[in-house]
A and B are shown apart, each in its own frame.
Chain A
Amino acid sequence: MLGLLIRRLALGIVTILLVSVIIFAGVEILPGDACTAFLEREAQGKLLENCRSDLGLNRSATERYFDWASAAIQGDFGVSAGSKKSIATLVGDRLKNTLLLAVCAMAAGIPLALMLGIVSGLWRDKPADLVISTLTIFAMTIPEFVTATLLILVFSVWLGWVPGIVLTSANAPVSEFFPEILLPMTVLALVMIAHILRTVRSSVIETLSSDYAQMATLKGVPYWRMVFRHVLPNALLPTINVIALTIAWLLGGVVVIETVFNYPGLGRMMIDSISDRDLPVTQAIALIISSVYVCVNLLADLLSLVANPRLRTAQLQ
Chain B
Amino acid sequence: MQSDLLEVTSRTDDSSAAVEPLLQIEDLSIGFDAKSGDTLAVLRNVNLSVHAGDAIGLVGESGSGKSTLALALMGYLKRGLRVLNGATWFDENNLFALTRQQLEPIRGGRIALIPQNSGQSLTPSQRIGVQLEEALQLHTALKPGQYQDRIVELLAQVRLPDPGKLVARYPHELSGGQQQRVAIAMALAGDPEVLLLDEPTTGLDVTTQAHILTLLREISQQSDMAMVYVSHDLGAIAQVCNQVAVMYAGEIMLQGDVKQVLREPLHPYARGLLASIPRLRSEALPQALDGRPPAPGEVSNECSFADRCVLADTACRSQRPELMSLPSGERVRCHYHHRADAIPVTVESIQGARKEVASLTPVVSLDNLGITYHRSGLLKQLLGLEDQNTPTVQAITLALQSGETLGLVGESGSGKSTILKSVAGLLPPFEGQMLWRDNERLPETIKQRSSKQLRKIQIIFQNPDESLNPRQTIGEILAQPLKLYFGLSGQELERRSIELLERVRLGSHYISRYPAQLSGGEKQRVAIARAFAAEPDLVLCDEVTSALDVSVQAAVLHLLDDLKRESKTTYIFVSHDLAVVRSLSDRVAVLYQGRLCEFGPAAAVYATPSHPYTEVLLDAVLEPDPDSKPLLMTDDVVELSPPAAGCPFQRRCPQSLGQQCNRETPPWHELDGGHFIRCHLDISKNRRGMSKLPTVELP
Binding site for B on A (CB under 8 A): 209-212, 214-223, 229-230, 233-234, 237, 308-310, 313
Q: A309-B170, A310-B172 are in contact. Are A220 and B120 (CB under 8 A)?
A: no
Complex interface: chain B residues within 8 A of A308 (CB): 125
Most chain B CB neighbours (cut-off 10 Å) among A219, A308, A309, A313: A219
Identify whether the interface residues of A are mostly helix, strand, loop, or mixed.
Answer: helix
The residue from B106, B123, B173 contacting A220, defined by CB atoms under 8 A apart: B106
A210 touches B120 (CB 8 A): yes
B107 touches A212 (CB 8 A): no
| Shortest distance from the beta carbon of A130 to any chain B beta carbon, whole Å | 18
A215 touches B126 (CB 8 A): no
The CA-CA distance from A209 to B107 in the complex, in Å, is 18
B115 touches A211 (CB 8 A): yes
Contact residues of B between 80 and 135, Cβ < 8 Å to A: 100-101, 103-109, 112-113, 115, 117, 120-126, 134-135
Known contacts A233-B125, A310-B170; 20 further A-B pairs (Cβ under 8 A): A215-B113, A215-B121, A215-B122, A216-B123, A217-B76, A217-B107, A218-B74, A219-B134, A220-B104, A221-B108, A221-B134, A223-B100, A230-B123, A233-B126, A234-B125, A309-B124, A309-B125, A309-B173, A310-B124, A313-B173
Complex interface: chain B residues within 8 A of A220 (CB): 103-109, 138-139, 190
Complex interface: chain B residues within 8 A of A309 (CB): 124-125, 170, 172-173
Complex interface: chain B residues within 8 A of A209 (CB): 79
The CA-CA distance from A237 to B139 in the complex, in Å, is 30
The CA-CA distance from A19 to B186 in the complex, in Å, is 52
Complex interface: chain B residues within 8 A of A215 (CB): 113, 115, 121-123
Most chain B CB neighbours (cut-off 10 Å) among A214, A217, A218, A221: A218
Complex interface: chain B residues within 8 A of A230 (CB): 123, 125-126
| Shortest distance from the beta carbon of A201 to any chain B beta carbon, whole Å | 16
B117 touches A211 (CB 8 A): yes
A219 touches B101 (CB 8 A): no
The CA-CA distance from A216 to B138 in the complex, in Å, is 11
For the complex of A and B, the 3 pairs showing the least CB-CB separation, nearest first, are: A220-B108, A219-B108, A211-B120
Complex interface: chain B residues within 8 A of A219 (CB): 107-108, 112-113, 134-135, 138, 186
The CA-CA distance from A192 to B170 in the complex, in Å, is 33
Contact residues of B between 430 and 464, Cβ < 8 Å to A: none
CB closest chain-B residue, reference A210 = B120
B123 touches A234 (CB 8 A): yes
Chain B contributes a number of interface residues (CB within 8 A of A) equal to: 34
| Shortest distance from the beta carbon of A105 to any chain B beta carbon, whole Å | 29
The CA-CA distance from A43 to B403 in the complex, in Å, is 85
CB closest chain-A residue, reference B134 = A221
Complex interface: chain B residues within 8 A of A221 (CB): 104, 108, 134, 138
The residue from A210, A212, A222, A229 contacting B104, defined by CB atoms under 8 A apart: A222
The CA-CA distance from A217 to B121 in the complex, in Å, is 11
The CA-CA distance from A233 to B172 in the complex, in Å, is 16
Most chain B CB neighbours (cut-off 10 Å) among A211, A212, A237: A212
A313 touches B172 (CB 8 A): yes
The CA-CA distance from A50 to B190 in the complex, in Å, is 86
Complex interface: chain B residues within 8 A of A214 (CB): 76, 78, 121
The CA-CA distance from A217 to B124 in the complex, in Å, is 15
The CA-CA distance from A222 to B71 in the complex, in Å, is 18
The CA-CA distance from A216 to B183 in the complex, in Å, is 12
A218 touches B113 (CB 8 A): yes
CB closest chain-A residue, reference B115 = A215
| Shortest distance from the beta carbon of A29 to any chain B beta carbon, whole Å | 30
Complex interface: chain A residues within 8 A of B79 (CB): 209
| Shortest distance from the beta carbon of B380 to any chain A beta carbon, whole Å | 11
B124 touches A211 (CB 8 A): no
The CA-CA distance from A308 to B125 in the complex, in Å, is 7
Complex interface: chain A residues within 8 A of B135 (CB): 219
A218 touches B125 (CB 8 A): no
Complex interface: chain A residues within 8 A of B101 (CB): 222
CB closest chain-A residue, reference B121 = A215
| Shortest distance from the beta carbon of A72 to any chain B beta carbon, whole Å | 28
| Shortest distance from the beta carbon of B629 to any chain A beta carbon, whole Å | 30
The CA-CA distance from A223 to B79 in the complex, in Å, is 16
Complex interface: chain B residues within 8 A of A218 (CB): 71, 74, 76, 107-108, 113, 115
| Shortest distance from the beta carbon of A233 to any chain B beta carbon, whole Å | 4
The CA-CA distance from A243 to B173 in the complex, in Å, is 28
Complex interface: chain A residues within 8 A of B120 (CB): 210-212
The CA-CA distance from A237 to B126 in the complex, in Å, is 13
| Shortest distance from the beta carbon of A32 to any chain B beta carbon, whole Å | 40
Q: A218-B74, A220-B106 are in contact. Are A212 and B173 (CB under 8 A)?
A: no
The CA-CA distance from A220 to B186 in the complex, in Å, is 12
Q: A219-B107, A219-B138, A221-B138 are in contact. Are A212 and B122 (CB under 8 A)?
A: yes
Contact residues of B between 286 and 318, Cβ < 8 Å to A: none
CB closest chain-A residue, reference B130 = A229
CB closest chain-B residue, reference A208 = B79
| Shortest distance from the beta carbon of B194 to any chain A beta carbon, whole Å | 12
The CA-CA distance from A217 to B190 in the complex, in Å, is 14
Complex interface: chain A residues within 8 A of B190 (CB): 220
Complex interface: chain A residues within 8 A of B76 (CB): 214, 217-218
The CA-CA distance from A212 to B101 in the complex, in Å, is 19
The CA-CA distance from A216 to B115 in the complex, in Å, is 11
CB closest chain-B residue, reference A230 = B123
| Shortest distance from the beta carbon of B491 to any chain A beta carbon, whole Å | 49
Provide 26 A-B residue pairs closer than 8 Å at the C-beta atoms, listed in order of the A residue: A211-B115, A211-B117, A212-B121, A215-B115, A217-B100, A218-B71, A218-B74, A218-B108, A218-B115, A219-B108, A219-B134, A220-B107, A220-B108, A220-B109, A221-B108, A221-B134, A229-B126, A229-B134, A230-B123, A230-B125, A237-B125, A308-B125, A309-B125, A309-B172, A309-B173, A310-B172
Complex interface: chain A residues within 8 A of B117 (CB): 211
| Shortest distance from the beta carbon of B373 to any chain A beta carbon, whole Å | 12
Q: Mark B182-205, 1 if CB is under 8 A from A, else 0.
A: 000010001000000000000000
The CA-CA distance from A217 to B76 in the complex, in Å, is 9
CB closest chain-B residue, reference A213 = B123
The CA-CA distance from A46 to B94 in the complex, in Å, is 96
Q: A219-B108, A222-B104, A229-B134 are in contact. Are A234 and B121 (CB under 8 A)?
A: no
The CA-CA distance from A223 to B173 in the complex, in Å, is 27
| Shortest distance from the beta carbon of A310 to any chain B beta carbon, whole Å | 5
The CA-CA distance from A221 to B122 in the complex, in Å, is 13
| Shortest distance from the beta carbon of B372 to any chain A beta carbon, whole Å | 15
Complex interface: chain B residues within 8 A of A237 (CB): 125
Complex interface: chain A residues within 8 A of B138 (CB): 219-221
| Shortest distance from the beta carbon of A13 to any chain B beta carbon, whole Å | 15
| Shortest distance from the beta carbon of B237 to any chain A beta carbon, whole Å | 22
The CA-CA distance from A209 to B80 in the complex, in Å, is 12
Complex interface: chain B residues within 8 A of A211 (CB): 115, 117, 120-121
The CA-CA distance from A251 to B112 in the complex, in Å, is 52
Complex interface: chain A residues within 8 A of B78 (CB): 214
| Shortest distance from the beta carbon of A226 to any chain B beta carbon, whole Å | 9
Complex interface: chain A residues within 8 A of B106 (CB): 220
The CA-CA distance from A211 to B456 in the complex, in Å, is 44
The CA-CA distance from A15 to B76 in the complex, in Å, is 51
Complex interface: chain B residues within 8 A of A216 (CB): 123
Complex interface: chain B residues within 8 A of A217 (CB): 76, 100, 107
The CA-CA distance from A214 to B117 in the complex, in Å, is 12
Complex interface: chain A residues within 8 A of B170 (CB): 309-310
CB closest chain-B residue, reference A226 = B123
Complex interface: chain A residues within 8 A of B173 (CB): 309, 313
Complex interface: chain A residues within 8 A of B105 (CB): 220
